Amino acid sequence: MNTASLTAHELMDRIKIGGITPARIVDDVLARAQAVNPGTHAFIRFADKITAGEGACPLPIAIKDNICVNGSLTTCASKILEGFRPPYDAEVVARIKAAGGVILGSANMDEFAFGSSCETSVYGPSHNPWDLKRVPGGSSGGSAAAVAAGQAVWALGSDTGGSIRQPAAFCGVVGLKPTYGRVSRYGLIAFGSSLDQIGPITKDVRDGALLLNIIAGFDPKDSTSVNAPVPDYTRALGRDVKGLRIGIPREYFIPGIQPEVLAAVRAAIDVFKAQGAQIVDIALPHTAYAVATYYIVATAEASSNLARFDGVEYGLRAFPAVPRKGKLIDMYEETRAQGFGAEAKRRIMLGTYVLSSGYYDAYYLRAQKVRTLIKQDFEKAFGACDVILSPTTPTTAFRIGEKMNDPVAMYLSDIFTIPANMAGIPAISIPCGFDGAKLPVGLQLMAGPFAEETLLAAAYAYEQAAPWHQARASL
C-alpha cells in the first residue's frame, strides 16, 4: 500500500478497520517527504519532534511558514524573522493538534506571502512535482507541492489574492479559500489583514471538507472572526446539482488565456450541464480593475503590517559596518535593508506611497471605493446564480525564473483569483485536466458569503464525474 498517495478520508477508513496505524502513516509519509524534498523543496524544515498522533484525525500535515507553531521556527520564508519561535500556536494549529494532527514541518512560501510562484523565499524556490523545472505557484507553493508529491496527507495555506487556489491549480490538487471570517487568523503573520484567510490544500474535495470541519469556527482572539454556526461540511457532499445555477462571467473568458486551459474549463461546464445544472451568463463589470485595486489595498496593508519588523523585539538585528546617523536609526535601516527581499521591499514602498500625505485620497481611498463596486458586482451576480465558474489561472505552471524580472506579468497570474478576496467570498480550485505538457489545469468555483456547503457540493459533483483528482505526480 502506497500510504503517501492516499487521501485523508481513505487513511481514516483504514485506521477504523485496523488496516493501518497512525504510527505507520506518520513513518511512511515522513519517509516520503524527506526522500523527495531535495527535488521539490516543499518543506523549509521538518519539525523537531514528529510522533504518531492520537485523536479523531491523527494525520500528518504541512503548515505554511507564516502560521505560528508554538516553539517551532516560523519565519515567513524571510531573513528578517530568522530564529523566531512563536510562544503560542495559531488557532488553526491548536485545533489541528486537538484533533490529533501531526505537524510535519514548515512548508516553503513566497517571502511574507508576496508572490505567485514560491520563488521569493529566502530559502530558495520550491519546484512543481509535475515538472521540477516549473514553479508550484504561490505564495503557498510549498504546501501545494507537498500535497501533490505525497509529502503530506494535507496542508494549510493562506490566501490573500489567490495564494491557496493558484498553487493548487498549478500542482493538480484542491485548494479552498473560505469566507473571510470563517477561519481564525489568530497566529497568521499578517500580509493584508482585510484579505488574508487560512484554508486547506488537499488531494480531493472530501479531504477539503474534512479539514475545514477542523479549522472553521468562531475565535474570540480574532476580531474579524464571525460568530456563526459551523455545519458538518462533509454532509454537503453528494448533493444533486440538478437545477444548480452556475454563472459564467464573460470577464473571466478573455483573450490571452492558454487555449488548453480554456478547453479544459469549457469541458468542465459541459460536465455540469450533463448533471442537470443550469448555466447562466453573468457579468462582473469591475473585474478589469481588480488587480490594480488589489495592489493598492494589499500593499498598503502590507506596509502597515510589516512596520513591526524592525530588529527590536524578535528576528534579525543588524548594524552597518560604519555608523551613519546614530545607533538606533542605523539599526532600523540596516535590519530592514538586510532582512527584506526585493519583492517585500517593492510592496512596502508601494504601500507606503499610496498611504502617504497627498496620495491617500488619490490611490488608497479610491481603491477602497472600487473594492466596494467589485463586492457589489458579486452580490448582484449571486442573485442570478448559486455558483460562479471560471479558470483558476490564465495558464498552467510557468518555468522557474520566467517571470521574476517582470512583476506585472507575475501579478497577472492572480487575475482570476484576486476578486474573491476583494469580496470576501469563498472559492475553491479543483483539477479539471492537463495541458499538452502534462501540467495540471485548475477550475475555480466561487459562492456567496458562508456558502461553503454549496461550493463543496458543486466541486464534489464535478470531481466525481471526472478523473483528474485521481492523478498523482510521479516525480
Alpha helices (H) along 275-341: 290-305, 327-339
| Same domain for 359 and 387 | no
Give the largest CA-CA distance in the chain. Answer: 72
| Same domain for 453 and 331 | no
CA distance 135 to 229: 38
| Same domain for 320 and 466 | no
Note the pLDDT of residue 360: 92
Residue 369: pLDDT band (50, 70, 90) is very high
> Looking at this protein, which amino acid is placed at residue 361?
D
pLDDT tens track for 290-329: 999 999 999 999 999 999 999 999 999 999 988 877 778 9
Domain final residue, candidates 317, 347, 369: 369
pLDDT tens track for 202-233: 999 999 999 999 999 999 999 999 999 999 99
| Same domain for 422 and 348 | no
Domain final residue, candidates 337, 369, 401: 369
Residue 1 pLDDT exceeds 70: no
| Same domain for 340 and 394 | no
| Same domain for 174 and 305 | no
Provide the number of structural domains found in the chain.
2
Nearest to 458 by CA among 234, 240, 199: 240
- Domain that residue 336 falls in: 288-369
| Angle formed by the axes of helices 290-305 and 342-355, nearest 10° | 100
| Same domain for 48 and 148 | yes
* Residue 133's CATH number: 3.90.1300.10
| Same domain for 443 and 311 | no
pLDDT tens track for 112-136: 999 999 999 999 999 999 999 999 9
Mean pLDDT, rounded, for 259-285: 98
Write down the mean pLDDT value for the chain: 96
Query: Which residues carry out catalysis?
Result: 64, 139, 163
| Same domain for 341 and 427 | no
| Same domain for 95 and 44 | yes
Residue 264 falls within a domain, yes or no? no
| Same domain for 75 and 100 | yes
| Same domain for 177 and 51 | yes
Which of 229-238, 323-332, 396-405 shows the lowest mean pLDDT across its residues? 323-332
Q: What one-character-per-residue DSSP string does 145-203 give?
A: HHHHTTSSSEEEEEESSSTTHHHHHHHTSEEEEPPTTTB--TTBPPS-TTT-EEEEEES
CA distance 58 to 51: 10
Residue 406: pLDDT band (50, 70, 90) is confident
Note the pLDDT of residue 474: 84
Note the pLDDT of residue 366: 96
CA distance 441 to 83: 38
